[in-house]
Structure 1
């Protein structure tokens, strides 16, 4: 169900991206009107989430201050990483992947516009093309993840990231293209589109529900909050480092650095899967550490 709902989300995103690209080519300042509308729609989506009904649990009596709760939460997170070895390895692999992803994301559109001379509509086309692939394969990947160790599923995800970065950088060395209407079609970007589609379909599942495979249902929220905290930690400096590295060494050196981190993340997942089984028999509590 999650994969199907995500496919519907991507269909809407596909249509909006296409129309928005056309608008930007016609008027570079159309975002002045679009952004406020997006803000209102975002608030509306949050309101719709609040109207969803779910089984209510007995209210908890909070006996700690906010500061004490934060300290206790930190202790619980540390304990989870210490006691749940398989999950710790999963997050190490995710951290290495995250560096690779965040190194390239800030410079991706600079590369499109400055290096490949693409217009807004062409960029929208490439984004839509890989999203179409993601929409088609998301339901299959949802079933696949349901019966696969998330570390093995992570290898598929990370490898697709590395391959789409590879084909992206390859375009600098094989800059052959065909202009069709307002779209510039680079031949080497076909590989980028295919593997980016695989990455988009698999990462949305791994990122959102991968942590829940390492714990009981009751602990899923805690594990996901730990996962998001680690995302926030690397987001503090990884994108800035990517821009700094690009300014010093250029596009392809940054892409190469990202691929090295992808290879390390794949090795971490493979090593962990071969040696450490997933175990959710006992909870990792801070007081037990």
Structure 2
């Protein structure tokens, strides 16, 4: 009876995560189009685009407070995810009644903040309920199916938006409703208990405010291997964020792309590539340490700005660039999301995953703003080249760290 109950619990966790990713796809698909909606329909300035692009990583700083509520409290893992989905979707139902670009930006920021904040809870549930191999497979297949849908939907959305620019008013609330339909599956999850739990103590506001930062510093101080992983990923992530303000300008002003062309490149090529490569990355991750694995991801990222610049002479290079980008993103998300369970080993993984969330917010404070400044000063192509330089540096760093990585999974001091 016990084994059967555990099997059902494991199966439900895997199924719930899979369908939650699939049903979140419409919202993330329209999020990918939002910078171009703001630029084409709302005539947003470079500064406004930089603000929107910066919001996604910056909200990660606030996400860390949401995720900190589950540290050492397995009973709150499922509740954390359910509340995040409910609260994060609320403002999208107001979009048809208030035609405001700032409402879209704020609603997106809240949703992204809570979605990222719930990631540590998801990773800890998968770690508790599944074997290491099954955890990686579940994440890889859930992500790949989500991105495959995310590749098909934006093409339809681009066609709709080209023909009816006001269609976004009903697309957002409908997408939010679809996202919420995964709640019954999440409610059925039975989180496997390891007998480890932390008693809830009353904290001062200052202690609560500084808690995630102190915990992150404590982990990075004690786990040198995790610190070096964060350094390598910070360099790569900074390169990606520097490029973001330049991309809409390069595509719209430099290449004159339509919504359908943008959707075909950004979502179809990227989404299909992500879906096809994600299982391959999961298999590759079993054969090498996380540093060498991440270095292969950043090496692939180096091709992205090269292909984009070549698109000025042959437009097909845009699609080649996003085929490579989709494969790179599949490996990057696998490394980023599973680094917590990998480095934490038998300990609670949620604080480790929360460190990833915090570092995203830190680079979001400066990288998009710098990218916007460099774009205005030197042009979008120069910023693309700068991002490629960061990818090369990240690859070199991660390969260097990999050489000192011992078989025990620790780095020598």
With the length of structure 1 as denominator, give the TM-score of the two structures: 0.85
2:300 to 141, 149, 160: 160
- Determine if contact 2:140/2:278 at 8 Å carries over to the other structure: yes
Provide the C-alpha distance between the structure 1 equivalents of 2:309 and 2:359, rounded to a whole number of angstroms.
28
Q: Post-superposition shift, 1:280?
A: 6.1
Aligned to 1:26: 163
Question: In the TM superposition, what whole-angstrom CA distance separates every residue of 1:148-188 from its partner, at most 9, and x where no partner exists?
Answer: 2111111111122221122112223x2x3xxxxxxxxx132
Aligned to 1:17: 154
Q: Secondary structure at the match of 1:219?
A: coil
Q: Post-superposition shift, 1:83?
A: 2.3
Structure 1 residues 73, 279: closer, same or farther in 2, change over 3 A?
Answer: farther
Q: Post-superposition shift, 1:75?
A: 2.8
Aligned to 2:110: none
Question: In the TM superposition, what whole-angstrom CA distance separates every residue of 1:237-274 from its partner, at most 9, and x where no partner exists?
Answer: 21121111101110111011111111111111111111
Please provide the CA RMSD for this pair.
2.2
Aligned to 1:191: 320
Q: Post-superposition shift, 1:45?
A: 3.9
Provide the C-alpha distance between the structure 2 equivalents of 1:278 and 1:165, rounded to a whole number of angstroms.
35
Aligned to 1:54: 191
Structure 1 residue ranges, 4+ long, deviating more than 6 angstroms after superposition: none
Q: Post-superposition shift, 1:58?
A: 6.5
Q: What are the within-5 Å matches in structure 2 for residues 127-138 of structure 1?
A: 127-138=267-278
Q: Which shows bigger deviation, 103-112 or 242-251?
A: 103-112
- Determine if contact 2:236/2:298 at 8 Å carries over to the other structure: yes
Q: 2:203 matched to 1:65?
A: yes
With the length of structure 2 as denominator, give the TM-score of the two structures: 0.61
Q: Post-superposition shift, 1:210?
A: 2.3
- Determine if contact 1:131/1:197 at 8 Å carries over to the other structure: yes
Paired residues, number: 270
Q: What are the within-5 Å matches in structure 2 for residues 255-274 of structure 1?
A: 255-274=384-403
Aligned to 2:231: 92
Q: Post-superposition shift, 1:279?
A: 5.3
